A and B are shown apart, each in its own frame.
Chain A
Amino acid sequence: MGETALILSEVFLDVIGYWWVIIPTIFLGLIVGGIPGFSAANTIIILMPLTLAMDLQMGLVFMVTLYCAARMGAGIPAILVNIPGTAGAAATPLDGYPMAKQGKGQQALAISFVASSVGGLLTTIIALATMPILARVGFYMHSVEMIVVMLFGISLIASIAAQDMLKGLIAGFFGLMIGAIGTDVVYATPRGTFGFLELYDGVPLIPALVGLFAVSEAFIIIEKKVIIREDAEPKNPNWHDTFEGVRIAVSRWWHIGWTSLIGLVIGVIPGAGASIASFVAYQQSRTFSKTPEKYGTGHAEGLIAPESANNGVTSGTLVPLLVLGIPGGATAAIMLVVMQFHGVSFGPSLFESQPKIGYGMFMAMAVAYFLMILTILPLSRYMSHVTTIPTIYLAPLIISFTLVGGFVPREYMFDMYLALGFGVIGYIARRTGYHVAAILIGVILGPLLETYFLRALKKSDGDITTLFSSTIGNILWVALVISLVLPIFFDWRRKKRNGPEIVVQ
């Protein structure tokens, strides 16, 4: 134990010594995270020659910082202009953007920054302390169990749809159907692709994301002078909103804690990612909330949940990488390549052979989150000015920015047309009262659900009872049913207690 403490304090000093790498990297990460399509993984690939030229520890600090900062950066346009830059930030605009429209963009940014940093920092520490146990999670979460986890996220469609259940479900199932485009994961039979090879691997997420959310929104906002609603209280920019955001976030420390843990646990499962974690966290947060009806209208907890969860995933993906040598996600996979280039071999023996590398990555993450909150929080005041740009300039900027972002991940012109197509669908949906978020959840989670579902069926030779064949899976099924029934029960009890009161929306 004493030895571990010694190593930890040593790596802490080492990492702090790289502050001059960390701080510029934070800004780079915020920028690439904020541009749709430029993920941390893509940036590390593009900057690979630079990364490989760095010495091992500096490269490690650089990659880890970029990863965390990009995750946080993706939340900024998601909140301010309804553009989630990555699938992991897809749940962020649900409550973040309504806040921005109410003139609380600065506050929302501060909440998101605190939730991200505290969630990230907390899960990093927990991951460090419980690594050997956490790494085992993947041994118990196989396809059957993951089906239920996906259903937790997808059940969010029903909650979002509450206003007009039929239309909400149509939107959600339409999304699931669009998500089913592409080859089937077992025999690679092309389905519903309209003959486009570009759709064989499924609908690319970024064009769908930016099209449904941002392009369609750009066509809506031109009705108004600025994004902020007219009835929002006019105020002079000051620091107060930032402090208020920090206060709101800190007072919900318990909420940050448990939603980031959802992210951590989902993050350690190889193959699962930030998108599912943030949807599940949002859904759980809403289920156990005393005010579920406020979700989707600019509720602080609805913003905290996905942001702390997707940063929890960031710490989580490092666990299987370091303990088992299995990268938990795309960025971790690139880190593996870079580390191997430097002759580091990951796996069970890493912490014995090179403990400084293993502990160093977590320490770098912790330090990055700490420095991030100090550097970024003051910026929220200036960033939030985006919402005051007149829409005659903002709408064309959003459109060009997002269509370009749709192109970047795969660099196919096809994807730009796709983003436009999704923009049209999103616009029709918005104008006629269908929830675009419900469509999007289907598009994002549908393919994941089908992958696990088919895998489970193929493993059991088509026996459907396999879905109820595992103890952990069955516990999760019960939990799923409870989390679906509980809100109805809470609602009933509240109504009973309050008498025939009309809930003010």
Chain B
Amino acid sequence: MTKTVFNRRGFLKGSVAITGATLAMPSIARASSYPERNINVVIPTREGGGADRNFRAFSSIWKTKLGVDFEPGFFPGASGRVGYEVYMGKNDPDAYNLIFGNMGPEVLNWAMQAPSFNIDDYFYFGRVDTDPCALFVGAESNLQTMDDIIAEGKKRKLNVGTSRMAHPASIGLLSLGEVTGAQFNLIPLSGGKNTVAGAVTGEVDFSVLTSGSVIAAGDAVKTLLVFGENRVGDALDNAPSMNSVYGTDLPEMLSSRAFGIHKKAADDHPDRFETLTRTFKETFEDPALLEAYVAARGTPEYLNYGGVEDCAAFKAAMLELGAKYKALLSGA
């Protein structure tokens, strides 16, 4: 169960797989019957959370394209690290094992502290949604506009709630501080629920968070700025995007869920990987997906197809921004 065990198991499995692959070349050739059993999906957050609902809605349509079901396994802990370690260390790279992660905060983790595996040994191949981060105040806050915040932030250091330091929302805020000269002090409040509560009760001056959780907070909060495009209008109080107000060219700061796969699985089983990516894309073309999202009370505006290249670009951008702000986000 330890890191070292993960490593050792990973190594053992890896070496077994290599010898196995050389012995079993013919089996690759006749792999056209893929998939012949259900696909396991590691979800690195807890059951019942946003990723869970999102996954169920999406996989309910995808399974009709693929012909087999998806079986989620929830491995929460250490901001998603446990799930990735389990996936990379224990699950076979055979395209029957996928991971459903969040390319925003989870990739930022790697920039703060490298995991036990090589982060290029997996990649995301199917982006499901893009949920931009937003800046919001409590309904009763003295700060009711962005101008209030910037003016006050030039007088004193404002305390800003965030779900945790290594989060795209924190990066959005730090860049806002750079552009406007306002002083911000990030206060990690451990999770979206507490981040909303912090802004509402006045524990902090205001908060930043992924907008899905902000929308869920209803009229207890008021959104002032989106670190990306506001695709939902009134649900986020028609808040403008940061780039449009401050003339910046910050990439969208997103919580962005995507399916990932072992690189080895895609290399060893190109036909299987092709089946996965093709059916994944078909899922987006099916109008039933939108219905499933509306039924699950998701935010259908955030559904946003992305392929291997979109995901790779986003992963690289997160790693780059993470490296840039590492000192501020990890205290190192």
Contacts and interface: CB of A to CB of B under 8 A. Distances in A.
Touch test A–B (CB under 8 Å): yes
Interface of A: 45, 48, 138-139, 142-143, 183, 185-190, 194-198, 200-201, 270-271, 320, 324-327, 333-334, 336-337, 340-341, 343, 345-349, 410-414, 417, 451, 455, 458-459, 461
18 contacts: A48-B48, A142-B203, A187-B332, A190-B113, A197-B3, A198-B78, A201-B78, A270-B201, A271-B197, A325-B218, A326-B193, A340-B297, A345-B218, A349-B218, A412-B77, A455-B203, A458-B187, A459-B187
Given A197-B3, A341-B297, A349-B219, 12 more contacts: A138-B197, A187-B165, A189-B330, A195-B2, A197-B82, A200-B78, A271-B197, A320-B197, A337-B53, A346-B218, A348-B220, A455-B189
Contacts of B202: 139, 142
B197 A347 contact: no
Chain B interface mostly = mixed
A188 B164 contact: yes
Contact of A187 (B3, B77, B189, B330): B330
B219 A413 contact: no
Most chain A C-beta atoms within 10 Å of own C-beta, residue among B196, B218, B329, B330 = B218
Interface in B183-238: 185, 187-190, 193-194, 196-197, 200-204, 216-220
A186 B331 contact: yes
B139 A348 contact: yes
Contacts of B220: 324-326, 346-348
A337 B297 CA distance: 9
B297 A347 contact: no
A410 B76 contact: yes
Interface residues of B, number: 48
B112 interface: yes
List the 5 shortest-distance A-B pairs measured between CB atoms, nearest first. A200-B78, A187-B331, A45-B48, A270-B197, A347-B218
B195 to A, nearest CB: 10
Contacts of A451: 190
Interface of B: 1-4, 47-48, 53, 74, 76-79, 81-82, 85, 112-113, 139, 157, 159, 164-166, 185, 187-190, 193-194, 196-197, 200-204, 216-220, 296-297, 329-332
Most chain A C-beta atoms within 10 Å of own C-beta, residue among B4, B77, B196 = B77
Given A143-B203, A188-B112, A326 B197 contact: yes
Contact of B330 (A188, A270, A337, A458): A188
B268 to A, nearest CB: 27
A343 B197 CA distance: 21
Contacts of B200: 138, 324-326
B218 A196 contact: no
A198 B1 contact: yes
A37 to B, nearest CB: 14
Contacts of B112: 188
Contacts of A327: 193
Nearest to A334: B48
A410 B82 CA distance: 11
B211 to A, nearest CB: 15
B219 A196 contact: no
Contacts of B3: 195-197
Contacts of B1: 196, 198, 412-414, 417
Contacts of A348: 139, 219-220
A417 B2 CA distance: 12
A105 to B, nearest CB: 35
B297 to A, nearest CB: 5
Given A195-B2, A333-B193, A189 B216 contact: no
Given A186-B165, A197-B85, A200-B78, A455 B187 contact: yes
B203 A197 contact: no
A30 B102 CA distance: 37
Contacts of B166: 188
Given A197-B77, A197-B78, A410-B77, A459 B159 contact: yes
Given A195-B2, A197-B82, A197-B85, A188 B165 contact: yes
Contacts of B196: 325-326
Contact of B79 (A138, A188, A336, A412): A188
A195 B330 CA distance: 19
Contacts of B48: 45, 48, 334, 337
A455 B74 CA distance: 29
A326 B217 CA distance: 7
A413 B2 CA distance: 11
B82 A347 contact: no
A479 B332 CA distance: 39
A486 B220 CA distance: 42
Nearest to B77: A201
Contact of B77 (A200, A271, A340): A200
Contacts of A48: 48
